[in-house]
Structure 1
Amino acid sequence: MRISTSMVFNQGYVGIQGNQYNLTKLQEQLSAQKRVVVPSDDPVASAQMLEVSQSDGRTNQFVKNGDTVESTLAISETSLSSANDLLSNLKTLAIQAGNASLDNSQLTMIQSEVKERFQQLLSYANATDGRGNYLYGGNAIDNPPFVADSSLNVTYNGDTGRRDVQISDARQVPITEVGSAVYGDAISNTAVFDNVRDLYNLLGQNPRPATYTTQLNTIMSGLDSAQVRLSTTEASIGSRRSENETLQSVGQDLDVQYQTRLSNLDGLDLAKTISDFTLAQTALQYSQLTFQKVSGLSLFNYLS
């Protein structure tokens, strides 16, 4: 069989090119610390990795959403708790005002304190999530949901919807409340504020009206009902926080599982790859040296 010069060069070139390709591929894997650098390295594993990565991305987004939910609901729960405590304080003031021995100047002092409590209550009802979004306007988050005039008459400017945030594939939770349901009732959208306003106005009447005690009792009954509504909303928020915490924990566990799966699909055996890289370097060097020697052979070298 005749071996032409072109065959020698072609075989040598193919051998060198193959070794160079192997060396380059191993170098890419070492640089990326990955077994699958491009899909063609392992099409099946690459497709599985894409699916796992997408699932992990959704899970991580849900966990991030859960962080927002926790922060927002925690602020809302705190504001409701503070509002509830304030209503207890107002009931105490109303009981004090029921003391028949108090004179008008003492009632005026209580009235002044009631007005301060009114302003505090208004600030709780207009609480924001720390990013400027109002918590008790339903879907209307850009403007204060409750606005008071100089006579302590309050108007609700929110709507009846709630903003939902996705915390899992199958679950959304509301992070805003309908203020007219929290601070109002079936008759008035601003029932809580109406009670406080009525208390303020009653304490300013001189002389006391004949129905003074009856009106005080009605106001205190209204404050009791308001506390029930606030407590009910607070309990609902606490339940949502608990559910969100559970789903966040599940999401974090899933993330670990997804990362383990990705590592199994794309994990690089570093020791073996380094060994293969060294071997590929040696093979390339020998193939280059061999090609150099073979390509230099000639019958003229043996003629004297």
Structure 2
Amino acid sequence: MRISTSMVFTQGYTGIQGNQYTLNKLQEQLSTQKRVVVPSDDPVASAQMLEVSQSEGRNLQFVKNGDAVESSLAISETSLNSANGLLASLKELAIQAGNGGLATTQLKMIQTDVKERFNQLVSYANTSDSRGNYLYGGNAIDSPPFVADSSLNVTYTGDTGRRDVQISAERQVPITEVGSAVYGNASSDTAVFDTVRDFYNLLGQDPKPANFSTQLSSILSGLDAAQVNLSTVQASIGSRRSENETLQSVGQDLDVQYKTRLSNLDDLDLPKTISDFTLAQSALQYSQLTFQKVSGLSLFNYLS
């Protein structure tokens, strides 16, 4: 079999190219610390990594959503707890006002206190989250849901919807409340405020009306009902926080599993790759040296 000069040259050059490609590929892997630098390195693993990465991204978004949910619900629960405490203090003032021995001036002092608490209650009802979104206007989050005038009349400007946030593939939870359901009842969107306003107006009547005690009793009943309603909403929020915490924990565990799976698919076996890189360097150097010697051979080298 005759071996032409061009065949020797081609084979030698092809060998150098192959060894150079192998060396470059190993160098890329060492630089990136990744086994799969481009999809062609391992098409099957690359497809699996894409699927896992997408699942991990969705899961991380749910975890991020859960953080926002916890923040909003925690603020809302704290606000309702404060409002409930304020209603308890108003009940104490109502009981104090029921003391038949109090003079009109003393009742007006209580009235001043009631107005301060009324303003504070409106403030609680207009609580917003860390992003400035109002929590008790339903879907209407950009403006205060409760507006009070100088006569202590309150208007609810929110709607009857609630904003839901996805915290898992199967679960959404509301992070806002319908204010008319929290601070109102079946007959009025602002029942709690109506009760406090009536209390305020009653204390300002001079002389006291004959049915003062009857009206005061009705006000106490209204405050009791309002407390029960707020406590019910608090319990609902607490339940949602608990569920969100559980799903957050599941999401964090899933994140670890996804990262482990990606690591198994793509992490580099560093000692083996360094060894392969060293061998590839030697192979390239050997092929270059061999090609140099073979390509320099000529029949005239043997004639003297």
- TM-score bracket for this pair, using the shorter chain length: over 0.9
Unpaired segments ≥5 residues, structure 1:
none
- 2: CA distance, partners of 1:131 / 1:268: 43
Q: Which residue of 1 aligns with 2:161?
A: 161
Unpaired segments ≥5 residues, structure 2:
none
Q: Which residue of 2 aligns with 1:181?
A: 181
Q: Which residue of 2 aligns with 1:285?
A: 285
Decide which moves more: 26-35 or 61-70: 26-35
Q: Which residue of 2 aligns with 1:71?
A: 71
Deviation at 1:23, TM superposition (A): 0.5
Task: Specify the code of the residue in structure 2 equivalent to 1:45.
Answer: A
Deviation at 1:245, TM superposition (A): 0.3
Tell me if 1:243 matches 2:243: yes
Q: Secondary structure at the residue paired with 1:168?
A: coil
- 2: CA distance, partners of 1:290 / 1:244: 68
- 2: CA distance, partners of 1:245 / 1:128: 22
Runs of 4+ in 1 over 6 A off after TM superposition: none
User: Which runs of structure 2 are paired with 1:194-233 in the superposition (5 Å)?
Assistant: 194-233=194-233
Q: Which residue of 1 aligns with 2:126?
A: 126
User: Which runs of structure 2 are paired with 1:32-111 in the superposition (5 Å)?
Assistant: 32-111=32-111
- 1: CA distance, partners of 2:284 / 2:38: 23
Q: Which residue of 2 aligns with 1:259?
A: 259
Task: Specify the code of the residue in structure 2 equivalent to 1:212.
Answer: F
Q: Which residue of 2 aligns with 1:117?
A: 117
Deviation at 1:191, TM superposition (A): 0.2
Task: Specify the code of the residue in structure 2 equivalent to 1:143.
Answer: S
Deviation per residue, 1:2-34 (Å, 9 max, x gap): 111100110011100000110011111111111
Task: Specify the code of the residue in structure 1 equivalent to 2:25.
Answer: K
Q: Which residue of 2 aligns with 1:138?
A: 138
- 2: CA distance, partners of 1:219 / 1:9: 105
- 1: CA distance, partners of 2:106 / 2:89: 17
Task: Specify the code of the residue in structure 2 equivalent to 1:23.
Answer: L
Deviation per residue, 1:248-295 (Å, 9 max, x gap): 000000010111111111121000001101110111011001100100
- 2: CA distance, partners of 1:74 / 1:102: 41
Task: Specify the code of the residue in structure 2 equivalent to 1:11.
Answer: Q
Deviation at 1:62, TM superposition (A): 0.2
Q: Secondary structure at the residue paired with 1:105?
A: helix
- 2: CA distance, partners of 1:208 / 1:31: 87
- 1: CA distance, partners of 2:81 / 2:25: 62
- 2: CA distance, partners of 1:232 / 1:215: 26
Task: Specify the code of the residue in structure 2 equivalent to 1:199.
Answer: F
- 2: CA distance, partners of 1:105 / 1:280: 99
Deviation at 1:137, TM superposition (A): 0.0
Task: Specify the code of the residue in structure 1 equivalent to 2:205.
Answer: Q
- 1: CA distance, partners of 2:111 / 2:242: 40
Q: Secondary structure at the residue paired with 2:144?
A: coil
- 1: CA distance, partners of 2:64 / 2:130: 17
Q: Which residue of 1 aligns with 2:295?
A: 295
Deviation at 1:42, TM superposition (A): 0.8
Deviation per residue, 1:220-261 (Å, 9 max, x gap): 100000001100000000000000000000000001011111
Q: Which residue of 2 aligns with 1:170?
A: 170
Deviation per residue, 1:110-155 (Å, 9 max, x gap): 0000000000000000000021100000000000000000000000
- 1: CA distance, partners of 2:239 / 2:198: 34
Question: Between the two proteins, what is the percent identity of the paired residues?
Answer: 83
Q: Which residue of 1 aligns with 2:18?
A: 18
Number of residue-to-residue matches in the alignment:
304
- 2: CA distance, partners of 1:31 / 1:231: 59
- 1: CA distance, partners of 2:57 / 2:252: 12
- 2: CA distance, partners of 1:238 / 1:261: 35
Q: Which residue of 2 aligns with 1:29?
A: 29
Q: What RMSD in Å do the two structures reach over aligned CA positions?
A: 0.5
- 2: CA distance, partners of 1:281 / 1:71: 56
- 2: CA distance, partners of 1:74 / 1:276: 56
- 2: CA distance, partners of 1:279 / 1:145: 73
